[in-house]
Amino acid sequence: MKICVLGLGYIGLPAATLFATHGCEVVGVDINKSIVESINRGMMPFDERGLPELLERAIRSKNLVAKTEVEDADAFIIAVPTPLDKEMKMAELGYVKSAGEMIYPHLRKGNIVILESTVPPGTNEKLLIPILKKSRLEVSTDFYLAHCPERAIPGNTIYEMIHNDRIIGGVDKESTALAKSLYSCFVKGDFYLTNSTTAEFVKLMENTFRDINIALANEFAQIAEECGVNSWDAIELANKHPRVNILKPGPGVGGHCIAIDPWFLTENSTRCRVVSLAREINDSMPNHVLRIVKEMLNGVDNPTITVFGVAYKGDVDDARETPALKFIRLAENEGYEVKVYDPHVKKFKYEILGFEDAVKDSDCIVLITDHTQFKETNPKEMAYLMRNKNAVDTRNVLDVGRWKETGFNVKVLGDGRC
């Protein structure tokens, strides 16, 4: 079985290496030449646990080769980005279209095309079929098409790609069956079969459900602050109910999925209410964090603050859609000097400083990301470097007692008692 995987990013590269290490001949295609070159040298373009070893095995076995052009294959998997057009709040499907355009000249009888990228409902039917038909082949008789959304969580992608249950939605029964048999080579979870548009819809529902749950947690956190209650303890207690599972509050929702996908549901609907409201609540959390910081720094002249963590979540190097960026911009507009420290992120819109430079002469640490390393930070190591000893913890990860003993004022987002 020869597979062409289009897009060698956070989903495409792990998928390509898994197919390659499970007996398939894989051509990974990316338009970015430097990514292609680094993959062929076995070098990872981003961090992901377990992937470097898998990539090395795939390259060594010669089952995986990266290229900039599509070539003839039995199956084509599209795993390209589908960014949000932020102004219009709509999916930008340009990369999916170009993938289709790159595939159709190579499409042969019996081939299958699988869209893995997250898309608005109906994209396979309305957008991809017309492009693929330029091959003069007919869908369902000559070639097959399915949507197989990825559910793996960044940070544990490889394990989840293998073990999670999988939704397979073909544009017809044969497409569904073919797609299932393809993924069976490495997926150990169960398969659930449906049609293509339902599969597209299900993927969006999953991430929207998580976004709304986090928005609820964020609203609870703000109400708890007003009521003098610790929302973190309260949520833990509420979750002891057998049918309650509230997620955690925080500085906002980032990443390339949860902060974006709900808009793919709303873009073509007049019925969305709670979905867009949840987005609004989560997007307003950096403003809430700034409010807390401002209260803390009241009376401090020309404040300098240090942002701990710009990755969108703990222990990843990915800063896409991070709430840290909005917080930094708001703080700068407030006249604050902002310094940034993140032990994982290498590329960011602001300079990432070393630990000492970031903390030196600062008036407040604002912990945005729950990196494990931050939980273990010894406040004594920074107390003597800072101008004023203040800390705002938006993730409830610091050992507040220890920080207070060291002379810090500490405020935890969602804790109305401190």
Which residues of this protein are in contact with ligand SAJ, per CB under 6 A? 118, 150-154, 206-207, 210, 214, 247-248, 250, 253-255, 257-258, 312-313
Nearer to ligand SAJ, 28 or 254 (CB): 254
| Nearest distance in Å: CB 313, ligand SAJ | 4
Q: How far apart are CA 359 and CA 386, in angstroms?
A: 6
Nearer to ligand SAJ, 139 or 152 (CB): 152
Q: How far apart are CA 43 and CA 96, in angstroms?
A: 26
Q: How far apart are CA 153 and CA 159, in angstroms?
A: 9
Q: Is 227 a catalytic residue?
A: no
| Nearest distance in Å: CB 189, ligand SAJ | 12
Q: Are 74 and 93 in contact (CB under 8 A)?
A: no
| Nearest distance in Å: CB 384, ligand SAJ | 31
Annotated catalytic residue: which of 257, 326, 339, 389? 257
Annotated catalytic residue: which of 4, 148, 180, 203? 203
| Nearest distance in Å: CB 218, ligand SAJ | 7
Nearer to ligand SAJ, 132 or 215 (CB): 215
How wide is the angle at C-alpha 259 spanned by C-alphas 17 and 274, nearest 5°? 135
Q: Is 257 a catalytic residue?
A: yes
Nearer to ligand SAJ, 52 or 314 (CB): 314
Nearer to ligand SAJ, 28 or 286 (CB): 286
3-state SS of the chain?
A: CEEEEECCCCCHHHHHHHHHCCCCEEEEECCCHHHHHHHHCCCCCCCCCCHHHHHHHHHHCCCEEEECCCCCCCEEEECCCCCEECCCCEECCHHHHHHHHHHHHHCCCCCEEEECCCCCCCHHHHHHHHHHHHHCCCECCCEEEEECCCCCCCCCHHHHHHHCCEEEEECCHHHHHHHHHHHCCCCCCCEEEEEHHHHHHHHHHHHHHHHHHHHHHHHHHHHHHHHCCEHHHHHHHHCCCCCCCCCCCCCCCCCCCCCCHHHHHHCCCCCCCHHHHHHHHHHCHHHHHHHHHHHHCCCCCCCEEEEECCCCCCCCCCCCCCHHHHHHHHHHHCCCEEEEECCCCCCCCCCECCHHHHHCCCCEEEECCCCHHHHCCCCHHHHCCCCCCEEEECCCCCCHHHHHHCCCEEEECCECCC
| Nearest distance in Å: CB 413, ligand SAJ | 10
Q: Are 342 and 310 in contact (CB under 8 A)?
A: yes
| Nearest distance in Å: CB 79, ligand SAJ | 10
The token duo for 236 is 């833990």
| Nearest distance in Å: CB 361, ligand SAJ | 29
| Nearest distance in Å: CB 91, ligand SAJ | 13
Residue numbers annotated as active site: 203, 257
